[in-house]
Each structure stands twice: as C-alpha cells, then as structure tokens.
C-alpha cells in the first residue's frame, strides 16, 4: 500500500472515530492537501519518496513554529503542534539517530577528503540525499559543522 493510500485509509478511520479522531483527521486532511498542491505544482503524480518529502517539509514547518510559540510562552500551541508532529511522524520512515548521522557524515568526510569548514558544501551535497526524509537538515548540518571543526 502506498503512503497516499495509507493516508486515505487512516482518514476514513479517523472519520469513523468521530470525536477521538478530530486532530488526526485534520492533520491527515492538511497533509493530503499539501501533497495534492505539490502534485499540481509539479504536474505529476507523486510516488512514496516525493510524498515523504512533503511530509518532512510539513514536520519541519511545525517544528519551526513550535520554537516561535515557545518563545512567546504559548504552551497550548506548542502542545498542539507536538501532537500534529507525532501524527505526521507515523508516516515517515524511521528517523536516523544522531550517532547514525555522525557515522554517515564521517564516512562522507573520509570519502571526499574534506579538511575543514570550507568543505561544508561538498559534504552537505553528498550527505543530504542519504538522509533526506530520515533526518532533520539542521541536525545534519550541525553534526557536519562539528566534525569539520567549525
């Protein structure tokens, strides 16, 4: 079953769950709309990899908003967004741990012969496709900078 089919099935289940499924239903509808809009923009039917990109973008948007709401002492909104992120994470592949990201980064640094901060772009260019959808880009960038001595 493709991710898009799974979203449709989960949306139906949330609709049947009435009150308990309200947050889940709204999140699934929101992400399905985002996928549909992206498909319209690209003029193509998305495969699972492209759907994962949209899901990762939605998670990132919510995490960024959580930081801002936390700064404004809006704990109610932060909690709401945490709930939404938890629902979206169910559809993403298992996320890499920091140790796994560090291992991948070390391999790429050795492979490219990167020496310092000036080689950040070269390393990021190679690590991004390997971690796409499975790790937050900010964390990856932070680990690579740390390993390159920045």
Same domain as 123, residue 80: no
State how many domains the chain has: 2
Same domain as 80, residue 103: no
**Last residue within a domain, chosen from 89, 107, 132:** 89
Same domain as 122, residue 55: no
Same domain as 137, residue 63: no
Same domain as 141, residue 106: yes
Q: Print the domain residue range for 136.
A: 98-147
**Nearest CA among 90, 76, 75 for reference residue 31:** 90
pLDDT band, residue 150 (cuts 50/70/90) = low
Same domain as 59, residue 25: yes
CATH number at residue 106: 1.10.10.410
Same domain as 79, residue 110: no
Same domain as 52, residue 122: no
pLDDT band, residue 21 (cuts 50/70/90) = confident
CATH number at residue 78: 1.10.1510.10
In this predicted structure, the answer to whether residue 17 has a pLDDT above a threshold of 90 is no
Same domain as 8, residue 69: yes
DSSP secondary structure string for all residues of the chain: --HHHHHHHHHHHHHHTGGGGHHHHHHHHHHHHHHHHHHHHHTS---HHHHHHHHHHHHHHHHHHHHHHHHTT-HHHHHHHHHHHHHHHTTSPPPPPHHHHHHHHHHHHHHHT--SGGGHHHHHHHHHHHHTTTS-HHHHHHHHHHHTT-
Same domain as 128, residue 54: no
Same domain as 80, residue 11: yes
pLDDT in tens, 104-144: 999 998 888 888 888 888 889 999 888 887 888 888 999 99
Same domain as 128, residue 57: no
Percent over 70 (pLDDT), the chain: 99
């Amino acid at each position: 079953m493709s991710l898009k089919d799974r979203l449709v099935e989960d949306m139906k289940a949330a609709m049947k769950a009435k009150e308990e499924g309200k947050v889940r239903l709204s999140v699934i509808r929101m992400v399905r709309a985002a996928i549909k809009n992206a498909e319209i923009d690209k003029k193509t039917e998305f495969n699972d990899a492209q759907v994962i990109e949209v899901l990762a973008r939605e998670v990132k948007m919510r995490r960024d908003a959580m930081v801002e709401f936390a700064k404004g002492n809006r704990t109610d909104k932060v909690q709401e967004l945490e709930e939404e992120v938890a629902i979206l994470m169910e559809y993403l592949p298992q996320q890499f741990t920091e140790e796994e990201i560090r291992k991948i980064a070390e391999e790429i640094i050795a492979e490219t012969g990167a020496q310092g901060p000036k080689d950040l772009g070269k390393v990021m260019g190679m690590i991004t496709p390997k971690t796409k959808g499975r790790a937050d880009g900010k964390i990856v960038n932070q680990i690579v900078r740390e390993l390159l001595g920045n």
